[in-house]
Structures are given as C-alpha cells and as structure tokens.
Amino acid sequence: MTLHSAFRFGINHEPDQIPSIPVQSFFGRRIIESKLVIIDEITMLEKTVLENVDKLCRILVPQNKHLPFAGKVVVISGDWKQSLPVVKNSPSPEAQVAVCLQSSNLYPMFVKTRLTQNMRLQPSEIQFKEWLYKLGTDTSGDKIAIPKSMIVESREELIEFVFDKGFDIPSSDMLKRLMLAPLNRSVDLNNSIVLSSFDTASIDYYSVDRCTNENPLSPYVADSDVSALNKLTPSGLPAHHIHLKVGSIIVLLRNLNTSKALCNGTRLIVKELQMNLILAETISGCSNGMTIGISRVCNSYVDERPDGVSFERFQFPVREAFAMTITKAQGQTCERLGIDLSDEPFAHGQLYTALSRATNSKFIRVYAPNKPKDEDSNVLINNVVARGLTFD
C-alpha cells in the first residue's frame, strides 16, 4: 500500500499537518504493532512527509518517543539520480533539493547500503549502465550526446518502433511498450496518434465539473464558469473529455485497491466500454489477468492561490497511457521504449529516468527534432542534474 494510505495523509497534505489517528483504530493499531516500515521511491517524497511519519510514530508509541520512528525499523529505497519532489511554482533543481529527504535531519540517521547489481538492465549492458551512471551524476550542466543509433527522424518512426507497424501485438506485450515525454502536450499528442490507429469500439466520456470556492463578487468569477472548468486539467486529475477505445492502455490516477496493487500509476488494458463503467484487465503484478470495473468518482482540486479556482470533477480516474510523462513513469519497466524529446528535459533526473526504463539499450529510440548534433551526428540534449545531492 502507499505511504499516504498507511499513515492516513490526505491528498492535499500540509507540511505541518500530522494525521490524527486514534490509538484503538485499525490504522492506529497497525502502526503501533508494526516492527518494520519499508518505503520505496523515497527520492520523490518531500522530507516533511517522512518527518511527520516519525512524529506520528512517537505519538502512538509514547514509551519510545525518545527514539527515531519510536524504535521501528524503517527501510527506505530509491535512486537519487531519478526525479525529486515536485515543487509548485518553483521548478528549479535547487528548490527540489531543499524539500527532499537529503535536506532532512532524519537522513543522516539512516545506514546507507548500496545495491551493486542492476536487475532491470541485462548483464551484457555494462557499457550502457556506466554511461547512465555518468549521465545521472553529471552536475556540469553540459549537454549529453545521445548516440545516433538511438535516434529516429520522425514521430511516426518512433511510434512504429514502440508499437510495431499495424499494432498486431498480444495484450500481454502491450504493457511492456511505452512512450515517454517531459511534458503532457507531447504525451497527449502521442496518445492521440496511437489511439487513432485502433479500429475498435469507442466511447467519449465527459465529466461533470463544479466550482467549490465560487465568489460572485470576485473579478475572476468568469474563471469558475463550468465551460472554463472544462478546459482545466490540473496535474493528477482526469481530463474533462476522455476518448477511449477497446484495447487502449490506460493508467490509474488514484488508488482504487492497494491490496490488489490497483494504485495510482498502474497501467491496464481496456477490455469493454460501457456508459458508466470501464472494464480493464491487469497484466502484471499480484493481480495479473484480473478484470476490474472502474466507475466515475469525485476528483477534487484545490488551488491555494488567492485568485485560484478550486473545483470537483466527476469523472473516471484514468487517462490514456500509450505514452506517459517521464515523472509519472518512474518505477515502470519496459522492453520497448520511445522517448519524445520535442521538449527538452527541464527537471532533475528526467533524462536519466527516461533512459533507464528499458531492459536493453537496443530497444530504446529517441525523437529529438531540431536539436544540435556533434561531429559524430549524436544529438545533444540538456541534462539537468541538481547540485547539492550525494549519490553514494
């Protein structure tokens, strides 16, 4: 299950907000009786969340409040070369470092153990592994040369490489193929192109949107009009209009059933489309081969700016996922990978995260139009690596 679910952090968790969990509740007893806590993908977690986990454990187990995490064994794992926490209104790598766990007083308390064998890359990929490590730790700000053997010259060529011409791919292999891009605009374009190639039944789903902080006297009242809300798609929310076909790959945008690994970020294949229900199949994990029904849910968005618009969207918590943003794909593994760098990487670890999703460098292709090249025709790409991190 997710950390936020286990420790009852809300969706819009405030840095100074410690969850209130009764000692005799199910969640309280589970935390109290737990001896071991394992947290993966720690690099994307803001330090205040783990600090509040520490405080909560001390509150629930007062006899051990003098010990970090009330004496519980806490194992964290992650790769600091990958993405860091997203900082609203401050995309600089320095701001990301300031809020990540390495900037917390808790971090020096952990004993570091380094894994030595890359389980994603095949053993023959030693040279590629070394190149990835250099790429992920290079804070010089220099551009990185992407080998010309990885480069394709058109978006169509990239799509054909990933999904094969004609899309004659078994369902079990579809989720092993993935396209990535830094920004949603490229992701949406690629998803639209791929979906248009499917000649299967389709349905258009439209959301019902409602403003939750409307002020009739505000000069920005027009922003809360339903037609204006329909045009908004904040991060983490489904779109107002979702166009799906049978055979589509979709990704969950929220946790549905953590015990069955149906979590935010899980990719599924659409098997049947009904007006008020999407039937989709899991292809991996402990629920492999299970068909689940997905219904519309209320998705809330809170804009904390003084003139911001907060609203609720009643919609299926999914989006197309033939292509995904690099940040959303952290933790994914695929056998065929296409990276669309029409927009260059702009945040720490994006290029490293994208290139390290595949099991073999031979099955990676990069589309990077209008980018400079070196004397060997390798394409030069921005590589953002934050200063102030340790990678050991």
Which pLDDT value is given to residue 236? 87
pLDDT (mean) for 23-38: 94
pLDDT at 245 over 50: yes
Cβ burial, residue 175 (10 Å; 0-12/13-18/19+): buried
Alpha-carbon distance values, 171 to 166, 246, 288, 346 (Å):
14, 11, 12, 33
pLDDT at 126 over 90: no
Tokens linked to 214: 């409307």
Q: What percent of the chain has pLDDT over 70?
A: 92
Cβ burial, residue 274 (10 Å; 0-12/13-18/19+): exposed
d(CA 31, CA 3): 12
Among 204, 318, 212, which residue's Cα sits nearest to residue 266? 318
Q: Half-sphere exposure (CA, 13 Å, Cβ side) for 209?
A: 27
Tokens linked to 177: 């193929």
Place of tokens 């840095």: 15
d(CA 268, CA 280): 6
pLDDT at 168 over 50: yes
Under the banding of pLDDT at 50, 70 and 90, the label for residue 217 is very low
Averaged pLDDT of the chain: 89
Q: What percent of the chain has pLDDT over 90?
A: 65
pLDDT at 315 over 70: yes
DSSP string, 120-161: SS-TT-HHHHHHHHHHHH--S-PPEEE-GGGEESSHHHHHHH
pLDDT at 150 over 90: yes
